[in-house]
Amino acid sequence: MNRNYSRELDAILCKLENQGKSLFLHSCCAPCSSYVLEYLRKFFRITVFYYNPNITEETEYLHRVEEQKRLIQMFHAKALEAREQEAYPISVIEGDYQSRVFFEAVKGLEGCPEGGERCLVCYELRLRETGIRAKEYGADYFTTTLTISPLKNAQKINEIGERIGREVGVAFLPSDFKKKDGYKRSVELSKEYDLYRQDYCGCGFSRR
């Protein structure tokens, strides 16, 4: 039976003994992170971890990472202007950009269809680095924005994340952020903040 990861997340949030626990959040891009940050910053002190070696072109990578930083700055400015007391500040850490790491990981899977085995390896690559960094930073939880995309397999992402969480010793926060109009809200926020919305995940295979 398929799990309802969105409902599981809500149950965890309701049972938090105290708000302000730390969350290490892997972000694939600013648009996908927009709703996730808006939703979770009332519960967690979030560190956004921008780690995406799958992005083939360096200029594209730099454009996306700057949009991520700009979004967080605008979130802070808006919260300050509105005097929001319940929204925790958000920090950001940029991971190493080494596209060769991605190409080495997916070697032999170049011909796989979009959403196939190559994508699962890519999820694993990014989530493992996130879990390792979350452990180093002493985070209470880690998770990813990837499940907000209607094109991504939320079940596989959660399965991979939970397995890595057990291996590194940090709880993986389950999610299906596209549910409850999460994806729709991310589109609205992207328009509100005039965010660059790319039309492919980042790798050359997806672009083709």
Model confidence at 26, pLDDT cuts 50, 70, 90, reads very high
**Burial environment of residue 200 by CB neighbours within 10 A (0 to 12, 13 to 18, 19 or more):** middle
The pLDDT assigned to 84 comes to 63
Return the CA Rg of the chain.
16
Q: What DSSP assignment string belongs to 38-51?
A: HHHTTTEEEEEEE-
At 52-96, the pLDDT tens digits run 999 999 999 999 999 999 999 999 888 777 666 667 889 999 999
Cα(164)–Cα(135) distance, integer angstroms: 11
At 131-182, the pLDDT tens digits run 999 999 999 999 999 999 999 999 999 999 999 999 999 999 999 999 999 9
**Burial environment of residue 11 by CB neighbours within 10 A (0 to 12, 13 to 18, 19 or more):** exposed
Tokens for 165? 């969480």
The pLDDT assigned to 11 comes to 96
